[in-house]
Amino acid sequence: MQKKIRAATNDRLQHAFDCISAGTSPALCGDALSSNGGTVSFLLNVTCPRKDVVSKTTLAYTIVNEPIKMGETTIPAQPENFAFGRTFWEMAQTLFAEGKIKAHPVDARPGGIEGILAGLNDLRTNKVSGKKIVYVL
């Protein structure tokens, strides 16, 4: 897959965002980047094994521009992340409106909270892929 990504981007991909940040995903994301290196932002505190790739951690809560208390640690408001978030969401809204990106189709299921285990089992056994499973309460 990484070779296909490099080919599709003419070996120019400089940035990746790893939404899994566990197992083999740090290496997979790093290997998809340009042979000149780049930056991967992870949701967890992990590191890309490639030495020419900068590893960063993204804490999405900082996008609200308010201090965040996590245990004994307080993370200050980060206005630059708020500004980035505004730009990102405006761009995302445009891309969705133009049909350039699309959300996963919704797979609405009955059963409320009790049905969630069946949905998790379907994910675990590869009976569902590329869909957002939703249970109405």
For the chain, 137 residues long, give each residue's pLDDT as a single digit of tens.
Answer: 788 999 999 999 999 999 899 999 999 999 999 999 999 999 888 999 999 999 998 888 888 999 988 889 898 999 999 999 999 999 999 999 999 999 889 999 998 898 899 999 998 899 988 899 999 88
Domain count, the chain: 3
User: Are residue 3 and residue 52 in the same domain, yes or no?
Assistant: yes
User: Are residue 72 and residue 96 in the same domain, yes or no?
Assistant: yes
Domain of residue 80 covers 60-102
User: Are residue 98 and residue 113 in the same domain, yes or no?
Assistant: no
The Cβ-side half-sphere exposure at 28, using a 13 Å CA radius, reads 12
User: Are residue 85 and residue 110 in the same domain, yes or no?
Assistant: no
User: Are residue 17 and residue 29 in the same domain, yes or no?
Assistant: yes
Helices (H), the chain: 2-8, 25-32, 79-97, 112-124
